[in-house]
Amino acid sequence: MKIRLVDYQDGLSARYGTSSSPFGSLWLVWTESGIEQLVFQDHGETDPFRVFPRLDKSRCFNRDDAGAATIVQTLFCRPVGDAPQENSLTLSAQGTVFQRRVWQALLSIPFASVTTYQQIASAIEQPKAVRAVASAIGANPVAWLVPCHRVIRSNGELGGYRWGLSRKQQMLDWEQAVPA
């Protein structure tokens, strides 16, 4: 699946919902522009404004768990070999210019591969900005799709992960299990 990051559009009506995934329950927010947020649900939270504290509450939100489940079914399908992916997915994630540059670099990490924070900093031509890169990765509002789980420390350790190191390891293992 090809994923592209587009500019966030303010004020659009949005749908949101919860669904199960291979890595636990998640919440999803999307508009006609694309997926804005995907976060894992660890504590049974049912209020989307607590799950997504950065949501603009003045917008119109409609709950659509069935729509979320349909999207999630597509998001977690495993790519098969080198077959061309006909599907494309649009992300409309809100972030600073720097964050979006980092997220765009994350989108270039091949499936089932890992990279380091330093390599991402170098990829965006800011090799001394490793801590800022790590912060931008931690601010990623679209888990799994902007693959921050594929970034590890230079020494080979997993580093941090907003949704827990065990989930990060589970994601990396799941990707490695895809037949070549």
The CA distance from 135 to 169, in Å, is: 20
pTM given for the model: 0.87
Q: CATH says 96-176 is which class?
A: mainly alpha
Average pLDDT over residues 6-32: 88
Average pLDDT over residues 68-83: 74
Average pLDDT over residues 123-135: 96
Task: For the chain, give every residue range classified as CATH 1.10.10.10.
Answer: 96-176
Fold (topology level) of 2-75: Double Stranded RNA Binding Domain (3.30.160)
Looking at residue 81, its pLDDT comes to: 43
Helix (H, G, I), strand (E, B) or coil at 39: strand
Quote the mean pLDDT of the chain: 87
Active site residue 148: yes
Contact 134, 117 (CB under 8 A): yes
Question: Is pLDDT of 66 > 90?
Answer: yes
In degrees and rounded to multiples of 5, residue 38 shows phi and psi of -145, 115
Considering the candidates 35, 133, 148, 152, report the single residue annotated as catalytic.
Answer: 148
pLDDT tens-place string over residues 98-114: 999 999 999 999 999 99
Burial of 99-115, coded b for 16+ CB within 10 Å and e otherwise, reads bbbbbebbeebeebebb
Average pLDDT over residues 106-127: 96
Task: For the chain, give every residue range classified as CATH 3.30.160.
Answer: 2-75
